[in-house]
């Protein structure tokens, strides 16, 4: 008699699975009554440390999850979470993740429907971003890898030699240089480090008063590098910086890149999603001109982690950067491997999960317009919050409002503002995060939350005033 990890008793397992669904939906439907965050008691830390004990069965393990894990997450499910830039997830996408895990297809490609689902989703996303038909792409774990893929394609396309074969080691080649603003996200540094370009080859261009890259300085930097014998390969523009939501002058940077024959990469982690809204599209105009574009569906697309996307205008350049050479997998013209592994030739992984299903089901069920409506709503909420802050004597905006991120301070020291932030979280009122703007600490409210209501921002402002006055 063989062993298996399937349930010995399917009926009992079915009952447990239904209980998990009920518990979870009860939890999600009652988020508004739960604290925005709560600290972990010491007993939780104790329970979640130590060696593996004897097997306890599925029900007891699940009950440990209910006791020790579910009550103590970082908080992004709730209506008053605006920390960093995190989406909530949705109930439908959660069930899609269950279906994806159950079907468990290997998403390198293969002659199967799930691969077609991802290809279809990528076409939809390219269309929503107004990129041309034939644009290539890949779903990723998130923005960092999507951006890394864009930069890897840029490196391969613009190096001027076979960078995959030769690497960057010890050649009498010019230095390959990359450009971003001082407000660009930390992924840019990680990407140039990983790719062997090195942090020293990443030129950080200063920003203007609106935290947008100074395009004249960018032009000068490119020219200076050329004069010094270097080879500028890529400019990274931001559609929504992480600190303030600033949007670089994408059309001007796109023009410059075309003139200079430099790759135009856009990091649109959350901001690119504004392309879905007719009301906001003009603010991110130029996204559609990207040679490569990275964005997340798990931020302003409201889907659960993980799902980001890289789109690459030149499909051949995309494939050339990741094509499998000398692979052990030889395609046949019939059967499971017919058609090869095209999705493994667009990014890092050979083995990939079915992230595409939650995007596919959500877009089919809700439509892109439902997401656009919520993006509009979040921007309107940011404007409302900014108005409330301006109207308060003891509060001030710390940066111009560009899209959906409101940075503000209580009048007083950095220490006071830090204390306000920590108390907001510890009391379970709300979860903004903190950042440093012009050398001073500020509270940062990044609104990518489909559960927030206007009243939630009143709760925030009132609590900040109350704590500030104490």
- Say whether residue 270 binds a second copy (CB under 8 A): no
Cβ nearer to a second copy, comparing 3 with 227? 3
CB of residue 73 vs a second copy: minimum separation in angstroms?
4
Question: Which of 217, 255, 306, 396 is close enough to bind a second copy by CB under 8 A?
Answer: 306
CB of residue 393 vs a second copy: minimum separation in angstroms?
26
- Say whether residue 459 binds a second copy (CB under 8 A): no
Residues 391-420 that bind a second copy (CB under 8 A): 418
How far is 188 from 294, CA to CA, in rounded Å?
A: 12
- Say whether residue 76 binds a second copy (CB under 8 A): yes
Cβ atoms of residues 187 and 151 within 8 Å: no
- Say whether residue 27 binds a second copy (CB under 8 A): yes
Residues 320-359 that bind a second copy (CB under 8 A): 322, 324-330, 332, 334-337, 348-354, 357-358
- Say whether residue 180 binds a second copy (CB under 8 A): no
Residues 419-458 that bind a second copy (CB under 8 A): 421-422, 425-426, 431, 433-436, 450-454
Rounded alpha-carbon distances, angstroms, from residue 462 to 75, 159, 392, 410, 467: 20, 54, 10, 12, 9
- Say whether residue 145 binds a second copy (CB under 8 A): yes
Beta strand 263-267 with 231-238 is: parallel
Q: Which residues pair with 309 in a beta bridge?
A: 139, 295
- Say whether residue 60 binds a second copy (CB under 8 A): yes
What is the gyration radius of the CA atoms in the chain, in angstroms?
A: 24
How far is 163 from 167, CA to CA, in rounded Å?
A: 5
Tokens of 297: 């569906």
> Which helix (DSSP H) or strand (DSSP E) does residue 19 occupy?
helix 10-29
Segment contacting a second copy by CB under 8 A, of 97-105, 255-263, 383-391, 402-410: 97-105
- Say whether residue 467 binds a second copy (CB under 8 A): no
- Say whether residue 12 binds a second copy (CB under 8 A): no
Q: 139: helix, coil or strand?
A: strand
CB of residue 216 vs a second copy: minimum separation in angstroms?
24
Nearest to 396 by CA among 417, 370, 419: 417
Residues 184-243 that bind a second copy (CB under 8 A): 185-187, 189-190, 192-201, 242-243
Beta strand 176-181 with 231-238 is: parallel
CB of residue 314 vs a second copy: minimum separation in angstroms?
19
Segment contacting a second copy by CB under 8 A, of 93-101, 220-228, 385-393, 459-467: 93-101
Q: Which residues pair with 395 in a beta bridge?
A: 410
- Say whether residue 132 binds a second copy (CB under 8 A): no
- Say whether residue 34 binds a second copy (CB under 8 A): no
- Say whether residue 21 binds a second copy (CB under 8 A): yes
CB of residue 254 vs a second copy: minimum separation in angstroms?
25
Tokens of 229: 């014998």
Q: 9: helix, coil or strand?
A: coil
Question: How many residues belong to the site for a second copy (CB under 8 A)?
Answer: 183
- Say whether residue 90 binds a second copy (CB under 8 A): yes
- DSSP letter for each residue of 380-446: HHHHHHHHHHHH-TTEEESS---SSEEEEEESS-HHHHHHHHHHHHHTTS-B-EEEEETTEEEEEEE
């Amino acid at each position: 008699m063989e062993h298996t990890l399937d349930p010995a008793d399917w009926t009992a397992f079915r009952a447990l699975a239904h209980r998990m669904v009920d518990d979870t939906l009860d939890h999600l439907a009652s988020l508004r009554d739960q604290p925005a965050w709560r600290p972990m008691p010491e007993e939780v830390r104790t329970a979640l440390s130590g060696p593996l004990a004897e097997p306890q069965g599925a029900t007891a393990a699940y009950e440990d999850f209910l006791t020790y894990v579910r009550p103590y997450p970082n908080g992004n499910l709730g209506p008053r979470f605006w920390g960093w830039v995190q989406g909530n997830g949705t109930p439908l996408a959660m069930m899609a993740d269950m279906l994806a895990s159950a079907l468990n297809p290997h998403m390198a490609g293969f002659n199967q429907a799930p691969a077609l689902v991802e290809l279809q989703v990528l076409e939809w996303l390219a269309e929503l971003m107004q990129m041309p038909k034939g644009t290539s792409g890949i779903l990723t774990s998130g923005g960092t890898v999507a951006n890394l893929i864009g930069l890897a394609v840029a490196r391969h396309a613009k190096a001027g030699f076979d960078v995959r074969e030769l690497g960057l080691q010890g050649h009498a080649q010019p230095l390959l240089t990359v450009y971003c603003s001082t407000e660009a996200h930390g992924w840019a540094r990680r990407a140039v480090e990983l790719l062997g370009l090195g942090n020293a080859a990443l030129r950080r261009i200063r920003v203007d008063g609106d935290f947008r890259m100074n395009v004249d300085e960018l032009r000068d930097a490119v020219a200076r590098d050329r004069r010094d014998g270097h080879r500028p390969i890529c400019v990274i523009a931001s559609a929504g910086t992480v600190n303030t939501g600033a949007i670089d002058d994408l059309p001007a940077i796109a023009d410059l890149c075309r003139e200079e024959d430099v790759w135009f990469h856009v990091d649109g982690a959350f901001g690119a999603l504004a392309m879905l809204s007719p009301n906001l599209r003009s603010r991110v105009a130029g996204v559609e001109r990207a040679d490569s574009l990275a964005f997340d569906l798990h931020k302003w697309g409201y889907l659960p982690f993980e799902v980001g996307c890289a789109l690459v205008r030149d499909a051949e350049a995309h494939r050339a950067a990741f094509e499998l050479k000398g692979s052990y997998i030889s395609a046949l013209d019939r059967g499971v491997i017919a058609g090869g592994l095209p999705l493994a030739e667009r990014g890092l992984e050979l083995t990939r999960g079915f992230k595409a299903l939650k995007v596919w089901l959500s877009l089919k069920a809700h439509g892109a317009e439902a997401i656009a409506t919520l993006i509009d709503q979040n921007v309107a909420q940011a404007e409302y919050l900014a108005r409330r802050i301006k109207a308060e004597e003891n509060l001030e905006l710390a940066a111009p409002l560009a899209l959906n991120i409101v940075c503000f301070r209580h009048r007083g020291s950095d220490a006071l503002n830090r204390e306000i932030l920590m108390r907001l979280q510890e009391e379970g009122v709300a979860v903004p995060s903190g950042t440093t703007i012009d050398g001073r600490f500020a509270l940062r409210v990044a609104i990518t939350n489909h559960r927030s209501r206007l009243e939630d921002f009143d709760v925030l402002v009132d609590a900040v005033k109350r704590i500030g006055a104490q």
